[in-house]
Structure 1
Amino acid sequence: MAQPSSLITTEQLAAVLSDPDLRLYDCTTYLEPAPPGSHVPYRAVPGDKTFAAGHIPGADFLDLQGEFSDTSAQQFFMMPDVAQLEAAFGRHGLDASKTIVLYSIGTMMWATRFWWMLRSLSVDARVLDGGFDKWKDEGRAVETGASKGYPAATFKAVPHPGFFVDKTIVKARIGDPSTIIVNALGPQYHRGLEPSRYGRPGRVPGSVNVPAATLVNADKTLAPLTDAQAKFTAAGVTRDKNVILYCGGGISATIDLLMLTQLGYDRLTLYDACMGEWARDPALPIETD
């Protein structure tokens, strides 16, 4: 199989780190417990403090919930309107003509979320395989302090329809033989065996389970494509179907989306509100084992 074009290795990034056309971004967010009695599943905390404590030299920091999400929505991390994204990415000097590299700490899912958002706007970006964890473990250069940023740019988005869908579309596709709905959460949550922080335990009826965590190696790099293909094939995810991905908040499912893209699947979409919406809406059906 061809080298995945949406990934970049630590070695490859190190080789271009001084390139003036590189635009490198730390995308980390942390999910902390919600206050007692809160109606939200968690607190979304930007990773600016860990960025200041250590980041890849020259990187800028992107605050997903603060600048790049619809903060008026009831759910975290909802895709905002194009004008907001154009302004925010422009402020951070993101230019589609440059080499754009995204990374995060602890898990690649924050970087893959931005990758999917940019892909929906017709912008190619690459995700650092293994993220900052692998970079640091290899003893590569680390910089501290606040971001120096990049010169502001004029960011013009060209949105592609269909990259994100809502609950109406998901509900309509349940039982549709041309569609397969894939849950990226862990099997215990998919089966409804444990309480869910999102609301009712369980899954979208008829959905299959390919947990994002099973697509990642111990060193936080993505699993080999052959291993990933075997998992998707076993779950019945075939290239002739429309594939709808979901998880808890539209983040970890983007790991599945990146892997499916590298495998050549092209009929992909993300249910953006995910279980954060579905599990709390009694009008929507839910299924458990």
Structure 2
Amino acid sequence: MNEIPLIVTTDWLAERLDDPKLRLIDATVFMKFPEGGGPPNVESGRTSYEQGHIPGAVYADLLGDLSDTDSNLPFMVPSREAFVKKMTELGIGDDTYTVIYDQNALVGETVAASYWASRLAWQLRYEGFDRVSILEGGLQKWQAEGRELTTGSSSYPTASFSGQRRTEMLATKEDVRKAMDDEQTVIIDSLSPEEYAVGHIPGSTNVFFGAHADEKSKALFAADKLRASFESTGALDPDKKVITYCGGGIAATWNALLLNTLGQSNVTVYDGSMNEWTSDPSCPIVKSET
């Protein structure tokens, strides 16, 4: 299979669960928001995966194995060597195709978005692997439809992973500085309107990553509604470049993926996002007028 959709349905996946070339990945990480406010607590989804996952799925640890643990910022991309080593151990390689899902695991919020899955999919494409899809609605939609779950752990045979890193898919702090004054680059803040109002990168426009799917069914909105979310920003102009960012480079990959589905291929993700930007006093911040 040379090409698969960027986003696949539960029906599509159910028909292929027995395909020996399929590699199914649970990429869940939990972000739990304290009742009194403040930053979220971030926890691995491995235990939850072991308690119930789609048959055949293996767990990918974005919190540890697939982030640069030597960085002072969370979730920065690891070295290519470390990433490829883990992918081959999980069975993802040149003769396979991959579907990634998560549990929409933003505890304390009602956001419907598979942003952990999109983060891993983006990392795979960044390292040169294209046969990867996101499961629409993730585990919650699968389970709500009464589909089978299994417990424990699964595994695949090790694989051979080639491809070349696509550096153009990742934006650095310096890239964003230049883009602030570039009319041919659209900078999209993927955080909530409230977070955007508190402080954002100059010149950026707000498209909330959690506004693209139904909160109950977890199904994506129709393409015309998705298009309307981005159209006014200029991000769908094929002659322009788009940089997406968020708090830590996770939700930004969800907006980037949806832009890809709408035909915009020139999208990069600011990996450091606001975690990095706000830690540098020389980086300007603006607030929305109230």
More displaced stretch, 131-140 vs 224-233: 224-233
Q: Corresponding residue for 1:199?
A: none
> Are the equivalent residues in 1 in contact too, given 2:94–2:160 (CA < 8 A)?
no
Q: Residue 132 of structure 1: which of 118, 133, 139 is its match? A: 139
- 2:89 is equivalent to residue 67 of structure 1: no
Aligned-pair distance for 1:155?
1.8
Q: Distance in 1 between matches of 2:41 and 2:164?
A: 31
Kept in 2: contact 1:108–1:220 (CA 8 A): no
Structure 1 gap segments, 5+ residues each: 35-39, 193-201
Pick aligned residue for 2:117 from 111, 115, 130: 111
1:101 equivalenced with 2:107 (yes/no): no
Whichever residue aligns with residue 231 of structure 1, its letter is S
Aligned counterpart, 1:162: 168
Q: CA offsets, 1:152-206, max 9 Å, x none?
A: 11222411121111111101211211111000001111111xxxxxxxxx00001
Specify the code of the residue in structure 2 equivalent to 1:242: K
Partner Cα separation in structure 2 for residue 160 and residue 277 of structure 1: 21
Contact 2:52-2:149 within 8 A present in 1 as well? yes
Please state how far the C-alpha of 1:33 moved relative to its aligned partner.
5.6
Deviations 1:200-258 (A, max 9, x none): xx000010011111112222222221111111112232222110000011111111111
Is the alpha carbon distance of 1:244 and 1:13 closer, same or farther for their aligned partners in structure 2, counting shifts above 3 Å? same
Q: What's 2:108 paired with?
A: none
Give the 3-state SS of the residue equivalent to 1:172 in structure 2. Answer: helix
SS in 2 for 1:56: coil
CA distance in 2 between counterparts of 1:189 and 1:58 reads: 38
> For residues 129-208 of structure 1, what are the structure 2 equivalents within 5 Å?
129-145=136-152, 147-192=153-198, 202-208=199-205
Task: List aligned pairs for 1:246-265, cutoff 5 A.
Answer: 246-265=245-264
Worse-matched range after superposition: 93-102 or 268-277:
93-102
Residue-by-residue CA offset, 1:232-287 (whole Å, 9 max, x unaligned): 11223222211000001111111111110011111110000101111222110000
How far is 1:43 from its partner? 3.9
SS of the aligned residue for 1:171 comes to helix
Separation in structure 2 between the aligned mates of residue 254 and residue 120 of structure 1, nearest angstrom: 11
Whether the aligned pair in 2 keeps the contact of 1:130 and 1:220 (CA below 8 Å) is yes
Query: Which residue of structure 2 lines up, in the alignment, with residue 195 of structure 1?
Result: none
Q: Is the 8 A contact 2:94 2:159 kept in 1?
A: no
Corresponding residue of 1:37 = none
Q: Percent of aligned pairs with the same residue?
A: 36
The CA deviation at 1:42 is 4.3
Aligned equivalents of 1:251 and 1:221: distance in 2? 20
Provide the residue aligned with 1:211 in structure 2.
Answer: 208
Root-mean-square deviation (Å): 1.7
User: Are the aligned partners of 2:201 and 2:286 in contact in 1 as well (CA < 8 Å)?
Assistant: yes
Question: Once the 2 structures are TM-superposed, how far is the Cα of residue 32 of structure 1 from its aligned partner?
Answer: 3.7
| Partners of 2:59 and 2:272 in 1: CA distance | 24
> In the alignment, is the contact (CA less than 8 A) between 2:99 and 2:134 conserved in 1?
yes
Unaligned runs of 5+ in 2: 105-112
Q: 1:204 to 1:132 in 2, by over 3 A?
A: same
1:15-73: CA deviation from partner (whole Å, max 9, x where unpaired): 11111111100000012469xxxxx9544311011101110011100000211111111
Among 50, 53, 68, the alignment partner of 2:51 is 53
For residues 191 and 220 of structure 2, what CA distance do their matches in structure 1 show?
A: 16
**Letter of the structure 2 residue corresponding to residue 253 of structure 1:** A
1:196 counterpart residue number:
none
Contact 1:78 1:272 (8 Å CA) reproduced: yes
What letter matches 1:217 in structure 2? D
Q: Paired residue for 2:232?
A: 234
CA offset at residue 76 of structure 1?
A: 0.9
Deviation at 1:122, TM superposition (A): 2.1
Report the Cα distance in structure 1 between the residues aligned to 2:227 and 2:154, rounded to whole angstroms: 40
Q: Give the secondary-structure state (helix, strand or coil) at the position aligned to 1:162.
A: helix
Task: Provide the rounded CA distance (Å) in 1 between the counterparts of 2:184 and 2:234.
Answer: 12
SS of 2:5's equivalent in the other structure is coil
Q: Which stretch shifts more, 181-190 or 106-115?
A: 106-115
